Amino acid sequence: MRIPHCFSQTKVLLTLLLSRNYNNFNCIMPLKYHSIKSIKQCYYQNNIYFDIYNDLYEPKLDDSKLNYYTKYNDLTAEHIFPQSFIKHYNKANKDMHNIFLTNYYTNNLRSNNKFSHCINENITNKIYIPCNYSRGIIARTLVYMKYTYPLLNLSSVIDYNIVILWNELYPPNDYEFKKNNIIYTYQGNKNIFIEDSKKLKLFVKKLTK
């Protein structure tokens, strides 16, 4: 007897979820998802409206930079883990922890290219090298997505050694803590790798076993 396709997909997903051995990790899925427009408005109203790739050039953000933007739609939504890579999950593209903002030009430039630490002549595929002070944020966002949505392929977006390095070189800043707490009030979950960045390395190491 042939097993229905929908049943086989569900069985595979449940097997993956149940087989994860995260020990001290406590994965909580978002309790509610919002539209991209609502998310951008939330960021604007709560003073976390920054360009992830161009405004984060200092360790501590200055709220005066908000003067650059007068409308909630001045910037475009940027999915750190590209939308084209998260199609296994219907609503993952609306997870606020993965949604940041940038200008239209930079959004197109980054596209769905893999993040890289530096230029490497041996790399043939297109890459994107972000500014230093966005690297820790990117690392913790990508690992959060892999942890929350286990079917995602983290290595297609960033190498394991780079994501660990960025997390260690650029620890969570005030912006991340503020954004994490605001998102918790809107969608009901936090990025645990911001609350305790030491867990990131432990989790990534488990992926390589």
Tell me how many domains the chain contains: 1
Question: What's the confidence (pLDDT) of residue 204?
Answer: 97
Question: What mean pLDDT do residues 147-153 have?
Answer: 96
Q: Model confidence over 76-117: pLDDT tens digits? A: 999 999 999 999 899 999 999 999 999 999 999 999 999 999
Mean pLDDT of the residues in the chain: 84
Residue 4 lies in a domain: no
pLDDT class of 60 with cuts at 50, 70, 90:
very low
Strands 99-102, 114-115: pairing kind: unpaired
Residues β-bridged to residue 79: 99
Residue 101 domain-assigned (yes or no): yes
Q: Distance (Å, rounded) from C-alpha 156 to C-alpha 58?
A: 28
Statement: residue 156 has pLDDT above 90: yes
Inside any domain, residue 8? no
Q: How far apart are CA 44 and CA 56, in angstroms?
A: 16
The more confidently predicted of residues 209 and 175 is: 175
pLDDT band at 27 (very low <50, low <70, confident <90, very high): low
DSSP annotation string for 77-138: EEESS-GGG-TTSTTGGG-GGGEEEE-HHHHHHHTTPEE-SS--TT--S-EE---HHHHHHH
The more confident residue out of 60 and 51 is 51
Please state the φ and ψ torsions of residue 128, each to the nearest 5 degrees: -130, 125
Higher-pLDDT residue of 28 and 110 is: 110
Query: Which residue range forms the structural domain that includes residue 177?
Result: 27-207
Is residue 46 situated within a structural domain? yes
* 73 within some domain: yes
State if pTM tops 0.85.
no
Cα 155 from Cα 99, distance rounded (Å): 19
Q: Give dist(CA 23, CA 25) in Å, integer.
A: 6
* Amino acid 68: pLDDT: 65
* 71 belongs to a structural domain: yes
Can you tell me the mean pLDDT for 153-177? 95
In a domain, 126, yes or no: yes
Helices and strands of the chain, counted as H and E runs = 8, 4
Is 80 exceeded by the pLDDT of residue 33? yes
- Would you place residue 24 in the very low, low, confident or very high pLDDT band (cuts 50, 70, 90)? low
The verdict on residue 178 lying in a domain is: yes
